[in-house]
């Protein structure tokens, strides 16, 4: 009898501690996402403008169409952008960012019958000078790896951030944001020595496997480093976005919930990338 009484009390306590909670995760509101990097190379610049899907939704982000998009410089130049078939806004005329010039983004669009305005501002930074770009080889488990390394002067007085891409014979091998390289000058001393990429030396791979492999470098290939300073906010935005895309170790931290932005009345980032290029030729026989 005593056992039954105790069991009955336990059931009452347990049942009293449970309550059904209805969650509506897809109810999280969407926003307008803007992303654009004005490069230091003369080209038709691109700006992406999308309605974000609700956080837990599996739907694709839809582009904001029929928006009036302009970029105005502190020198008084105005560049108009137009929507194209790729779903992005492309400048009608080619131009390049310049050091010390401020670029003001203005976006006007209609949402549910209401006119809305989005803006952002960024200033071009000083181009970065790379002294040397070279390749060394390192055998790993019977396969030769080509390690691409850059050297440059290191400004120890100012903390700086950089974005890096690498091209093989003019084809960029890391075109997506999730693949972009990020660096900072947190180095000791006046020289910055940084590994850029690790590639597979094609001559160390059986010919029948080469066709299906990526990240290969062949004798005589031209390697082009594309590197430049970026502002701290853009560095944080890319870094946090990559963490959101790729995820992080659940033992330490979760994805960023509030990603850095400089967009007024939206999310995303508008910045400049003061790129410079440095080339080297991969010589399979002479590289050690």
pLDDT tens for residues 54-102? 666 677 788 999 999 999 999 999 999 999 988 999 999 999 999 999 9
Same domain? 150 vs 113 = no
Residues spanned by the domain of 90:
28-123
Same domain? 148 vs 253 = yes
pLDDT in tens, 219-265: 999 999 999 999 999 999 999 998 887 765 444 444 445 799 999 99
- 6 domain residue, yes or no: no
Chain centre distance of CA 169 = 22
Same domain? 56 vs 113 = yes
For strands 267-281 and 32-39, give the pairing.
Answer: parallel
Write down the pTM of the prediction.
0.82
CATH number at residue 61: 2.60.40
Same domain? 157 vs 250 = yes
Same domain? 115 vs 41 = yes
Same domain? 101 vs 230 = no
- 56 domain residue, yes or no: yes
Alpha-carbon torsion (92, 96, 101, 106), positive or negative: positive
**What is residue 159's DSSP assignment?**
-
**What is residue 188's DSSP assignment?**
S
- The residue written with tokens 């952002």 in the block is 120
Closest residue by Cα to residue 195 from 150, 164, 246, 143: 150
How many structural domains does the chain have? 2
């Amino acid at each position: 009898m005593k056992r039954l009484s105790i069991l009955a009390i336990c059931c009452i306590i347990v049942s009293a501690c449970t309550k059904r909670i209805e969650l509506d995760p897809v109810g999280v509101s969407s926003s307008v996402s803007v992303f654009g990097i004005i490069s230091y190379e003369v080209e038709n610049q691109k700006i992406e403008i999308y309605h974000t899907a609700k956080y837990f939704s599996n739907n694709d982000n839809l582009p904001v169409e029929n928006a009036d998009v302009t970029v105005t410089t502190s020198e008084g130049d105005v560049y108009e952008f137009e929507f194209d078939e790729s779903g992005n806004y492309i400048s009608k005329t080619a131009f390049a960012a310049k050091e010390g010039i401020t670029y003001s983004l203005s976006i006007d669009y209609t949402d549910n019958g209401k006119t809305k305005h989005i803006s952002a501002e960024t200033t071009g930074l000083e181009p970065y000078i790379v002294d040397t770009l070279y390749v060394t080889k390192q055998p790993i488990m019977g396969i030769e790896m080509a390690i691409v390394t850059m050297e440059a002067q290191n400004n120890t007085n100012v903390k700086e951030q950089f974005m890096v891409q690498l091209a093989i014979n003019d084809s960029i091998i890391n075109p997506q944001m999730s693949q972009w390289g990020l660096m900072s000058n947190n180095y000791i001393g006046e020289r910055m020595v940084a590994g850029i990429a690790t590639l597979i030396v094609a001559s160390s791979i059986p010919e029948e496997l080469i066709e299906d492999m990526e990240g290969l470098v062949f004798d005589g290939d031209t390697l082009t480093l594309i590197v430049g300073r970026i502002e701290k906010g853009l560095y944080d935005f890319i870094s946090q976005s990559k963490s959101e895309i790729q995820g992080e170790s659940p033992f330490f931290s979760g994805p960023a919930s509030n990603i850095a932005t400089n967009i007024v009345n939206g999310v995303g980032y508008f910045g400049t990338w003061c790129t410079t290029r440095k080339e080297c030729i991969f010589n399979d026989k002479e590289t050690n």
